[in-house]
Every structure is written in C-alpha cells, then in structure tokens.
Chain A
Amino acid sequence: MLRTILTALTLFALWLLMSGIYKPLIVWMGVGSSVIAVYVVRRMDNAADTERLAVRLRPLTTIGYWFWLLIEIAKANWAVTKLILSPKMNLNRHLFKVPYTQKTDLGQTIFANSITLTPGTISVEVEEGDFLVHAVSYSGDDMDALSDMDRRVAAIESAGA
C-alpha cells in the first residue's frame, strides 16, 4: 500500500515538473491521471506474476561511475570519429566474448548498456556468463578496458543484492 502511494506521489511530482501550469482545474486533472496510471499499473501487476525489479545500488559509487562513464564515452567517441573521417578506414571488426560478474539483472543491464553506450563496442547477445560483444576496431586493450568496466559496475551493486 505504501508502495502504491509512493508511486502515485512520484508520478504526480513528475507531472508537476512537466506541466508548469498550476491552475486548480489543471492540477486536479494531473491528480486524476496519476491515480488512473497507478490503478492500471496495479492491475497489470496482478495479471502478470513477475518479480518486482528491486533497485539496490550504492548511490555515491553510482554517481562516480556515471562521471567515469562520461569520460569513457568521450574517449571512445573521439576514436570512432577519427575512424569515420579517416580517408582509408582501417576497420578491425571482431566479435568476442566478455564475461560478466554482476549478480543482479539490473547490474548486468547497466553493464551491457554501458558497453553499447561507448561507441566502438556493442553488446550483441547475452549468454550464460558472458556477453557477445562486437567491436569496430578491435585491439588487445579492449578486453582489459571492458573487464575494468565490469569491475566498476560490479562495485556499484550493493552487497545485499
């Protein structure tokens, strides 16, 4: 029940941020739409008996990880930009396996999305224990960089997960 109320309040806060018009009628419409949304979500929860996705991450480490990831994205972008603009494209395409050590689904998702977010590497398929990754200019360092990223993503999962 507490969870439902919190969801409704979060939705309403989001609505307030998006709307920007605070006349009584409009605000009541916002209240109504968030209540309807929560009702529909609850019905869907009852219909599909799937597990709830629990978000358990270390907040400070997560923020640090985002800054590190931004720098990585910048570096990778520069590498791919040089590749695109060079007159003779020296591609070294390769498909290889990267093992992951995250325990939760969320951790694995963050790792796979981080791989895809840095241009030059794309996670293609998820297998038991490792991702299939495609690189456009493969070199031996890629493996080290990805296992470094893997370690960092595993570090933002809290121990209780």
Chain B
Amino acid sequence: MMGLIVEILSWILIVSGGAFTLIGAIGTLRFPDFWSRLHAASVSESAGMILLIFGMCLQAGPTLITVKLLIIGAFIIITGPTSTHAVASAALTSGETPESDEDTRKSQEGKS
C-alpha cells in the first residue's frame, strides 16, 4: 500500500517535472527578447529540476543514490541563479539595455 502511494507520487513528480522543463524550453523559443528568455530558462532550471530530483529520490528510496541526487539538486539550486545573474549582468555591462513595457505603457497613457 505504502509502495503504491510512493510510486504514484513519484510518477506525478517526474512527469510534471518533465512537463515544466518542456514549458521552459518552449518559453526560451517563444519569448521575444533576451531579458524575457532569462525568465523562461529559469522555469526549467527551478521547477523542472526540483520536481525531477524529488521524483527520482522517491524512486531510489533511502540509499546513497538519494544523497547524491540531493547533492546534485543543492548544487544546481546554488549555481543556477548565480550563472543566470552572471549572464544578465554581463549583458547589462555590454550595453544591452532591456526595454521596459511598463514605461512605454505609462508614457502612452500620459499622451492619451
């Protein structure tokens, strides 16, 4: 009985993790500019990664494999945002300025 619950739970986690990585990849293709693509990439890096790692942990059970999976997860959760920030700040210093929809909308509202 317990085994069945764990099995179903890990099914849900792993399949939804795969779905989230797919959504993130679709986002990197669909979004119009570099700055919004950063956000799409971080979907597959946070949600997809966490769900997949936890799903695999449930499959592995209390073994050394779970420890390794958690170490991989902790490593990605620390380095993922760090490298995203590095890419973003490198783009900003190279003169790649993001356009702001908020500002354009405000100035349009001001005109009308």
* Contacts from A to B (Cβ < 8 Å): 17-18, 20, 70, 73-74, 77, 80-81, 83-85, 89, 91-95, 112-114, 116-125, 132, 134, 136, 138
Cβ B43 vs Cβ A77 within 8 A: yes
CA gap between A78 and B45 in the complex, in Å: 14
- Inter-subunit contact B88/A17 (CB<8 Å): no
Q: Would you give the shortest CB distance from A84 to chain B, in whole angstroms?
A: 4
Closest-CB distance, A127 to chain B (whole angstroms): 11
Given A89-B31, A93-B101, A122-B38, residue A84 in contact with residue B84 (CB < 8 A) = no
- Among B31, B77, B92, B102, which residue has its beta carbon within 8 angstroms of that of A124? B92
Interface centre among A17, A85, A94 (most CB of B within 10 A): A94
Whole-angstrom distance from the CB of B39 to the nearest CB of chain A? 4
B78 within 8 A of A: yes
Do B89 and A125 touch (CB < 8 A)? yes
Identify the 9 closest CB pairs spanning chains A and B, nearest first: A116-B81, A94-B102, A84-B27, A77-B47, A136-B39, A113-B81, A124-B88, A119-B42, A119-B43
Counted as pairs of residues, one from A and one from B, with CB atoms less than 8 Å apart, the total is 112
Number of interface residues of B (CB under 8 A): 40
Q: Of the candidates B23, B35, B38, which one forms a contact with A84 in the assembled complex, judged by CB atoms under 8 Å apart? A: B23
Convert B34-68 into 0s and 1s, putting 1 for each residue whose CB lies closer than 8 angstroms to a CB of A. 01101110110011001000000000000010011
B50 contacts A122, CB within 8 Å? Answer: no
Within the complex, which residue of A85, A93, A119, A124 is in contact with B47, where a contact is CB–CB below 8 Å?
A119
Across the interface, which residues of A come within 8 angstroms of B89, CB to CB?
124-125
Closest A residue to B102 by CB, please name it: A94
Q: Which of A18, A84, A89, A92 contacts B43 (CB 8 A)?
A: A84
Chain B residues within an 8 Å CB radius of A17:
64, 67-68, 71
In angstroms, Cα B111 to Cα A76, docked, is: 33
B64 partner residues in chain A, CB cutoff 8 A: 17, 20
- Nearest CB to that of A16 among chain B residues? B64
- Distance in angstroms between the alpha carbons of A38 and B93 in the assembled complex: 36
A-B contact list, 28 entries, CB within 8 Å: A18-B71, A73-B47, A80-B40, A80-B43, A81-B20, A84-B27, A91-B32, A92-B101, A92-B105, A93-B101, A93-B102, A94-B103, A112-B81, A112-B85, A114-B81, A116-B81, A116-B84, A116-B85, A117-B77, A117-B81, A121-B39, A122-B35, A122-B38, A122-B84, A122-B85, A123-B88, A125-B92, A136-B36
